[in-house]
Chain A
Amino acid sequence: MAFYVVQFLTGLASAASLFLVASGLSIIFGVTRIVNFAHGAFYMLGAYVAFTLTERFSGAFGFWAGIVAAALIVAAIGVLVEMVLLRRIYHAPELFQLLATFGLTLMVEDIVVLIWGPSDLLGRRAPGFKGAVDFFGQNIPTYDLFLISLGPVVLAALWIIFQRTRWGVLVRAATQDRDMVAALGVNQKWLFTSVFALGVFLAALGGALQIPRDAVHHALDLRIIVDVFVVVVIGGLGSIVGAFVAAVLVSELNAFGILIFPRFSIFAAFVIMAVVLVVRPWGLMGRPVK
């Protein structure tokens, strides 16, 4: 019995990481209608920059400040990318946007190898969350518990931003009808840039938070982007709660699926996506995209 509880919590920890990155992608798509293939690249950059910062600055403050700083730095890079590249292709066909962001991903992959070298880098464990908690004979890593609690916190924070601030109102309006928002005199350029910055911040934060769990290596972007896309599609493009539910669904089904059928992982997410899309073609909580 204790085993199933722990397996469930393990799945939730994976879900939390996935949700963080997926929410960023969902937000970006919801407003700008750009399918940001470079999202995985920002995730990976967040991980690399966080690695450098957490190695430079020791102690607990150094670690957590390093994580947040990494996310902010990569968000700033995201703003630069948005202003230089994406602004020019908002009105281009979707295929061009996909190719441009994919091209960006390939560039970033080679750049990180140039700067950080080809080897896998292992960062340090999170101070204060290094061990495991004993739960009826099973071990639950404390960092997993931290991630599990972070998921709903981020979800709540996003909800407050989007429901209770003026900026949030504009973002929701732009998600529903971009042209009308422009017609009403809102500065679309800055709206898109700020939304992109938030999305990239979330992706980079997701990457940085992987430091205690995972090696940082140059294939991180392609590894995460497929799972994130699947989660976003299952949840519905543009819906953050959908992304949360989908992340939990995919991670839990994987965590329990491998108990029954160990080779399940390789196609788990895609099977779930296929089933969900057959039943609800716009995703669990998505709406038809205009």
Chain B
Amino acid sequence: MQLNRRFLGVGLAITFGVMAAHSARAQSEIKIGEINSYSLLPAFTEPYRKGWQLALEQVNAAGGINGKKLVVISKDDGGKPADAQTAANELVSSENVAMLTGTFLSNIGLAVSDFANQKKIFFLAAEPLTDAITWAKGNRYTFRLRPSNYMQAAMLVEEAAKLRAKRWATIAPNYEYGQSAVAVFKKLMSEKRPDIQWVDEQWPPQGKIDAGPVVQAVAAANPEAILNVTFGADLVKLVREGNTRGLFKDRSVVSFLTGEPEYLDPLKEETPEGWIVTGYPWNSIKLPEHEAFLKAYQAKYNEYPRLGSVVGYQTIKSAAAILAKANSIDPEKLIAAAEGLSMSSPFGEITFRKIEHQSTMGAFVGKTALKDGKGVMVDTAYRKGGDFLPSDAEIAKLRPKD
């Protein structure tokens, strides 16, 4: 009996000791949950991870969040919305994170945004581009960093409307992102140029394009210009087949995201020239904030940044700025702090708009070219995100009534 009681006492003491130490440690750090499709899309998510790890280092080196250490707990969703919601649930319930960040695919961004709305937790979406995240399915807990489909389409339409082409065809991956990108591009183009005819549209499944038949089908419609929304391996296949079959000869092509190094670099000598694209010409940006970011990134990793690096970096920097201003982990205080908050970024100053929680981060528009067997962006210009959004009245109509 004596022995048991002694063991019980020691056991309780150890337990309470550990609990006290844990909560003492917990009070001196702030946790952010991060979810992304690490296993599905390493070409984007590996530079993305490097970007946010650099940001985390910088934030903690500068004193953390009002003296507390910032910790990022990262989970992989494998490209599946259900797994993303499971990861989000674990982060919120077991790890007690102050906010959720991340996601890449538009359908996953929507799933986590919906989760955040139900659980009333702050969510900073990093990369998903569908307009629905801030408009049709927007909610007050969700903020988004990257310029949306509408913004990028508007930037491209500004250039595309100058083309003489009247017959257009579209090629886009058959899921949320592709569908919304084509819809908004068509709408904006037809407003500026009512004489345009949409002669064909192709919808290859995301990641599984059968490029030969798609290229043939588009060529058969005889368009004068093509809108491309495919990316990654689909884009590579499309470019190769298109080059072989002469699809792009004497045709203008407008393409979302193709100027980003993660999508442009694999093309090498196949890089088509003269495509009007949005992207990230990392070695020709003359902004002091970007030069500082570039130096730090290259010093730490010995390689050049991709667009994913900038997104990861700015996501954690933004989260840190929001937490620092709110000085609390209460979601309501975070929302109040984030609305209208401005901060610096590798692309200059960005602001999180109050009306729909979209950041004014912009994109670079330019043309593709082939130099020394590698694809590059030329004639680039930065377009500020805030200049390419519709009026507040229109946006208020698009958002669901809170």
**Residues of chain A at the chain B interface (Cβ within 8 Å):** 3, 6-7, 10-11, 13-14, 109-110, 113, 118-122, 131-132, 138-139, 141, 143-144, 212-215, 217-219, 223, 227, 251, 254-255, 258-259, 262-263, 265-266
Contacts and interface: CB of A to CB of B under 8 A. Distances in A.
B216 A214 contact: no
A7 B216 contact: yes
A223 B217 contact: no
A268 B270 CA distance: 30
B244 A11 contact: no
B168 to A, nearest CB: 14
Given A132-B246, A255-B213, A262-B202, A219 B207 contact: yes
A122 B207 contact: no
A73 to B, nearest CB: 23
Interface string B186-221: 000000000000001111110110111110110110
B309 to A, nearest CB: 13
B265 interface: yes
B268 interface: yes
B42 A258 contact: no
A11 B262 contact: no
Interface of B: 39-40, 42-43, 45-46, 174, 200-205, 207-208, 210-214, 216-217, 219-220, 232-233, 236-237, 240-241, 244-246, 262, 265-268, 270
24 contacts: A11-B213, A13-B212, A119-B43, A119-B265, A120-B236, A121-B266, A122-B236, A131-B244, A139-B244, A139-B245, A141-B245, A143-B244, A144-B212, A214-B240, A215-B233, A219-B40, A254-B210, A258-B213, A259-B217, A262-B217, A263-B174, A265-B174, A265-B210, A266-B205
Contact of A215 (B201, B213, B236): B236
B42 A218 contact: yes
A122 B10 CA distance: 63
Given A215-B266, A254-B210, A139 B246 contact: yes
Contacts of A227: 208
Nearest to A255: B213
Contacts of A138: 216, 219
Given A122-B267, A122-B270, A219-B40, A259 B220 contact: yes
A13 B220 CA distance: 19
Max count, chain A CB within 10 A of own CB: residue among B201, B212, B245: B212
A52 to B, nearest CB: 16
A255 B42 CA distance: 31
Given A219-B207, A223-B207, A7 B245 contact: no
A263 B206 CA distance: 11
Interface of A is mostly: helix
Contacts of B266: 119-122, 215
Given A122-B266, A139-B246, A263 B203 contact: yes
Contact of A122 (B40, B210, B217, B268): B268
A266 B207 CA distance: 11
A109 B76 CA distance: 15
A6 B212 CA distance: 10
B51 to A, nearest CB: 14
A113 to B, nearest CB: 6
Given A223-B208, A265-B208, A258 B217 contact: yes
Given A11-B213, A223-B207, A266-B174, A3 B220 contact: yes
Contacts of B240: 122, 212-214
Given A132-B244, A214-B233, A265 B43 contact: no
A213 B241 contact: yes
B203 A262 contact: yes
A14 B236 contact: no
A14 to B, nearest CB: 6
A138 B216 CA distance: 9
Contacts of A120: 43, 232-233, 236, 266
B42 A118 contact: yes
User: 7 closest A-B pairs (Cβ-Cβ)?
Assistant: A118-B42, A215-B236, A10-B212, A255-B213, A120-B266, A266-B205, A139-B245
B278 to A, nearest CB: 19
Given A120-B232, A139-B245, A265-B174, A258 B237 contact: no
